A and B are shown apart, each in its own frame.
Chain A
Amino acid sequence: MTDSTPSQSASVSPQSPSGNLRMPMVAEVIDRIQESDRIFTLRLRLRNPEQRRNYRFAPGQFNMLYLHGVGEVAISVASDPDEPEILGHTVRAIGRVTEAMNRLDVGSQIGLRGPYGQSWPLLQAEGADVLVVTGGIGCAPTVGVINYVLMRRQRYGRLTIIQGVKHAQDLIWRERYDYWRTFPNTQVLVAADHGGPLWPFHVGPVTEVFDDAAIDSEGTTVMMCGPEGMMIAGTRDLIERGVPEQRIYLSMERNMQCAVGHCGHCQFGSQFLCRQGPIFKYSDIKPLLGMEGF
């Protein structure tokens, strides 16, 4: 009974309808890129000029995309926040809604509400090194971060991008990695658990390539996204190398339905992923991270 002020039924103030937050806006698919068999990028543009002008997001935040008659799905915005009129969403066709979205053509209209959630700590990271560690397929939530740092290269120190995949053929955006490599003070390291005859990069878990990255343990902000097992192993390794816990940020994923902290599905202990996350400081989620069932 500590700080839960008892609500006097007579004193509840009329709330303005939260419709703006909960109502989808109409967006048009202006471009569609097939990244791999099951991964595609939709570039979306809000139809209503006023909504388009007012829309702002920060890398790491997500939108709820709605396919008519099928349902909604939470997808992070992968494009540049300084071009908020075109919103890139990279999607893996894995469930009912995303499978159906895979069949969308240019010109199709879908619903979009957002942005929701916390973003990557790009302002706090200014002036220091940035290490982006991603695992699994694509890991779109960090593409926005990488592009953001590359476009504002002078504001940050060394940028290291480490991408790990299970199988060599899971690597998408190979050209992008090659392109990112061309920027000054930028290092790109790629690893696959299982390489192949023509795999030019490291074979083994991502943590093994940490040795090749000159990580300044005191002055690096880490942004990590991928399967939880990989993030746990990566975090453990980085902490051993002296990176402070509070400079390691992880992007978490859970079932999201309302995106405003009401529906309860995305709870991770006491945190609502859609509100306090999906980007978390490692120290904030450490106790339950890796605990089965949470």
Chain B
Amino acid sequence: MDDGLSQQPRYFLPRQSFQSLIDQLTLQGFGCVGPVVRDAAIVFDQLRSVSELPQGTRDRQEPGYYRLENSESPRWFSWANGPQALKPYLFPSREVLWEGSVDEDGSLSFKERITEPQPLAVLGVRACDLAALAIHDAHFLNGPSPDAHYARRREQLFLVAVHCSHPASTCFCVSTGDGPAPTCGYDMALAELDEGFIIDAGSERGKRILDQLPLVEVSAEQLDQAGRELDAAQKAQTRELPDGPLNRILFQNLDHPRWDDVAERCLACGNCTSVCPTCFCASENDVPSLDGLTSEHSREWSSCFTEGHSFISGQAIRPDIRTRYRQWLTHKLGSWIDQYGRSGCVGCGRCIAWCPVGIDLTEEVGAICKDASHD
């Protein structure tokens, strides 16, 4: 876990100088976004001053449970995660792709809506968020038809990662191999201590910003302390995904009784797919103007838990919750591996905390694997 850190020289940014990072990013033309408390949750929003950061805020997460608590800690990043992180910044929940217009004589024309994103720096992304981003990069950019909207936002993105020292009970990034320390894919990474931040650059852009900051030498003791906290963060995680080739195991157990069991509890609300940082399903919709002359063609997040998701020729391929939950889990943990070379789960635990009935995917897949027969 520590390998990523040792590649780059590390420095120390005292807590009282942290504002300089926000200022430097702003000076370099980035809109700055970071964690703030809103609606009783940690959310990402515009950040101008360190005073807006959630000082001493802890998040308590359990299946179907998310509450913030305050502490005397001076720290700004002593929480695990909120309902969203990077996904909405690159893949907005609704986006107009093009617009069709008709003239009075009935002739049709199309106009592309080009995204012109401003450079954006996101401060406080977690290792699981970076892993999810790499998955979305593979999905939206690396295929045969790269998505221009995603690509334009992605190019403008500057990422300041923060080591996770306070995982929630719902976290299991150690099990998925994605955390708690960010090891790649960031421009700058921070490990928070009471008195400030151990900081390193992960890209040339990151290094240029780093060079402008009032850094001091990092002490061996501070490095030890960060190492101990990371170690504790790893040990604190209790949830895990079962070992084994889940793509094979799940698809060999499509008739397991656990699918009926979870279907009794699942509401098919789609919360899990909304908060999942890797879920990419989107429906394409057309919204005509009142006079009917123009019509916007948009894509909006959709969910495999809806009837419409599989609807074709007058019927749904997945008419019940059992087949929808099974579609979600077998894709996320199973067929994703065949599609992208890795599981679609990064261990962030959001789907567990934000499920209104507290369904825990690690428990569900665990139950299926426990008595699963597979070759």
Query: Count of A-B contacts with CB under 8 A?
Result: 191
Contact with A along B139-183 (1 / 0, CB 8 A): 111011111100100110111000000000000000001000001
Asked whether any CB of chain B lies closer than 8 Å to the CB of A292, the reply is: yes
B330 (CB) vs chain A CBs: closest residue: A269
Residues of A within 8 A of B138 (CB): 4, 7
Whether A264 contacts B280 in the complex (CB less than 8 A), given A9-B185, A254-B312, comes out as yes
B36-44, B192-200, B214-222, B338-346 - interface stretch: B338-346
Asked whether any CB of chain A lies closer than 8 Å to the CB of B372, the reply is: no
Residues of B within 8 A of A23 (CB): 98, 110, 112
Contact with B along A1-36 (1 / 0, CB 8 A): 111111111111011111101111110000000000
Q: How far is the CB of A16 from chain B (nearest CB, A)?
A: 8
Does A108 lie within 8 Å of B286, measured CB to CB? no
Interface size on A, residues (CB 8 A): 60
Does B313 lie within 8 Å of A15, measured CB to CB? no
B68-76, B303-311, B354-362 - interface stretch: B303-311
A264 (CB) vs chain B CBs: closest residue: B281
Compute how far the CA of A108 lies from the CA of B141 in the bound complex, rounded to whole angstroms.
36
Residues of B within 8 A of A111 (CB): 100, 108, 110
Residues of B within 8 A of A18 (CB): 145-148
Does A10 lie within 8 Å of B187, measured CB to CB? yes
Residues of B within 8 A of A261 (CB): 143-145
B residues 295-337 touching A (CB-CB < 8 Å): 295, 297, 299, 302, 304, 309-314, 317-318, 322-324, 326-327, 330-331, 335-336
The 16 sampled A-B contact pairs (Cβ below 8 Å) are A6-B130, A9-B158, A12-B154, A15-B147, A23-B98, A26-B108, A69-B100, A71-B285, A72-B286, A92-B313, A109-B106, A257-B299, A261-B143, A270-B335, A293-B317, A293-B326
Which B residues form the contact surface with A (CB < 8 A)?
Answer: 97-98, 100, 102, 106-110, 112, 114, 130, 133-135, 137-141, 143-148, 151, 154-155, 157-159, 177, 183-187, 202-206, 247, 251, 254, 280-286, 288, 292, 295, 297, 299, 302, 304, 309-314, 317-318, 322-324, 326-327, 330-331, 335-336, 338-342
